[in-house]
Amino acid sequence: MNKIYKKNEVTFAVIMIVIYVMGTVISENITTIIGVQKLIPAIFHSIMSLVTTVWIIKHGYSKKYGLVFPTYNIAKVWFFIPLIFIACFGLIFGIELQYSPVETVFFVISMVCVGFLEEIIFRGFLFTGISKTNVKEAIIISSLTFGIGHIVNLFNGKPIVATLCQIMFAIAVGFTLVVIFYKGKSLFPCIVFHSLNNSLSVFERTNEEVIERLPLSVEQFEMIYLFFSIVILLIYATIINKKLDATRE
């Protein structure tokens, strides 16, 4: 593992992406057969998170990949309010468990680990590897790759329109988070937001249930939500890019 990394960090990042994506798809299919939602994904994501963390710490890459607490002033935390709003927005329409209590625990474990893995792989390994030669290119590639990677949801039975919306949303999120990491040098805020955003979805009402109270179709609701989320994220990323700089704190 370390030999591949030392030879080419970008290649290493791509291999990690393939392992993560294929492992996720396979574990989702297996858990569907078993009938216990998120059981196998929770196991796979936990093991991969543990192995990745141990490898990073063992080789002294914690600071390089942002697994350190932010060095900027704690007053900067107010900058994260837009992220909290985006993560918790779905709860505005009501709270409803999508799975049984046990399956909900598996779901949360899986999603917390997914938040960590996707941040360390896309914002950590991939962005850092490419940014050695071109920072702008690294930001674009890591954001697009992160977003397009969500196309795997089609293989898990998600509708095409919903998947496309998620891809566009993920690209905007990916861009915002890579700016936060690049400017702040810490991946923790990104991991916390990503894990929170993923985990809270199990407590949200489905879009079909939400539109029962609104004069909109599911597609219209998703497009409106997508538009406002992207606008908020892009404005937020612009502010972070101008205001946040760990090297000046």
pLDDT of residue 72: 81
Chain-centre distance of CA 114, in angstroms?
A: 7
The predicted structure's pLDDT at residue 31: 93
pLDDT band (50, 70, 90) for residue 247: low
Share of the chain above pLDDT 70, in %: 94
Judge whether residue 134 has pLDDT over 60. yes
Q: Per-residue pLDDT tens for 206-224?
A: 878 888 877 888 888 888 8
Range in 4-18, 34-48, 147-161 with the lowest mean pLDDT = 147-161
* pLDDT in the model for residue 1: 76
Report yes or no: 14 and 142 within 8 Å, Cβ to Cβ. Answer: no
Cα–Cα dist 146/142, whole Å: 6
Q: What pLDDT is stored for residue 103 in this prediction?
A: 95
Residue 226: how many other CB atoms lie within 10 Å:
16
Q: Coil, helix or strand for 60?
A: coil
> Is the Cβ–Cβ distance between 153 and 106 less than 8 Å?
no
Q: Residue 95 pairs with which residues in a beta bridge?
A: 204
Contact, 78 vs 244, CB < 8 A?
no
Lowest mean pLDDT among 59-63, 80-84, 176-180: 80-84
- The most confident of the ranges 43-47, 154-158, 242-246 is 43-47
Read off the tokens for 62.
Answer: 């914690």
pLDDT given at position 155? 64
Q: Where are the domains of the chain?
A: 2-248
For residues 133 and 158, which has the higher predicted lDDT (pLDDT)?
133
Q: What 3-state DSSP class applies to 71?
A: coil
Q: Write the pLDDT tens digit of every residue in 86-128.
A: 999 889 888 888 889 999 999 999 999 999 999 999 999 999 9
Separation CA 204–CA 191 (nearest Å) = 20
Quote the tokens at residue 66: 């942002």
φ/ψ region of 205 (left if φ > 0, alpha if ψ in -120 to 50, else beta) reads: beta
* Distance set, CA 225 to CA 95, 198, 219, 220 (Å): 18, 16, 10, 9
The amino acid that residue 32 corresponds to is T
Tokens of 93: 């329409």
pLDDT given for residue 248 in this prediction: 52
